[in-house]
Structure 1
Amino acid sequence: MRSDEHLLLDLETGRAESAARQLYRGYQRELFGFACHRLGDRALAEEVVQDVFTRVWRNAASYDASRASVRTWIYGILRNAIVDAERRRSRRPPAARYGQDDALVGIDEPIERTLLRWQVADAMARLTAEHREVLHLGHLGGLTVAEIAETLGIPPGTVKSRTFFAMKNLRLALEELEVTP
């Protein structure tokens, strides 16, 4: 199997379709999970992930291995695509947004688990955008401190600090909501 860097180079050659397919298979689930959690809307998350792979394909020539790993570069594209999607969504009338969270509730999911998920989402919403972002990238996206720092363009120490305070504030918010693990 070719490395991600080689696959990006292949996007510019005659092997573009095969390279795109391999990159998609390698990252689609991970990116979809991250986007779905950030956006709270499966359909919008699917749309965002498709947009990310289109951007990866179009911008493969701009990838610079000395600046970031392929994974970090793709997460940077995902982050921008999510911001774009959130902007578009905020311009839609409230009636068009009604019921988006309901789409995430599984039919067979126990009510306690659904309630806990809502409470955690409420607690996460109480965090600053910066704190939510490092938690999403680290805990849901699986990025390392160094990868988060590259993606956000901040020092690794800042990532660690934000993560520490994000977890502290999340615990406090969960306590305020009387959520027990």
Structure 2
Amino acid sequence: MTRPADDKILTALERRHGPALRRYVQHLTRDGDLAEDVVQETMVRAWQRPAVLERDDDGARAWLFTVARNLVVDDARSARKRREVDGETTTEAAVADRSDAVLDSILVADALATLSADHRVVVVDAYWLGHTVPEIARRHAIPEGTVKSRLHYGLRALRLALQERGVTR
């Protein structure tokens, strides 16, 4: 149990060293709320130890700054700190939602399945594999004009199949 004199000494200690202690902790943490919590906890610990209140001004100041620094270090090392992330960090580090891309690929694959095998092969070769018309012609042993024709009609059929599935352009 503390004496009323201890409360007065603690109040005077906070008045003399509190602002500098807050600036110091704010500099260490870069977090105003955490800095205020650390300063309050430091003062509580000083209040719990009457011997600190009886020290000379320089000794009390050194003790307060040491305790505050140790509290900041303990907080940084805590398991809570390693698991918790503030909202701003979460927002910045959020991974883009890929569900639209997955649904689009399912729609396109479904629409491709409706094409004839001849049309599907040249469309996939040209647009997914990146082959040119002469390369497709050589790969499938068909004339270049046939490749162009199949691409034209295949893309037209693909567009219609996608429109039937609700994809519009």
Higher RCO structure, 1 or 2 (CA under 8 Å, sep 6+): 1
Greater C-alpha radius of gyration: 2
If each structure's helix is expressed as a fraction of its own residues, which one has the higher value?
2
Taking structure 2 as the reference length, the TM-score comes to 0.41
Taking structure 1 as the reference length, the TM-score comes to 0.39
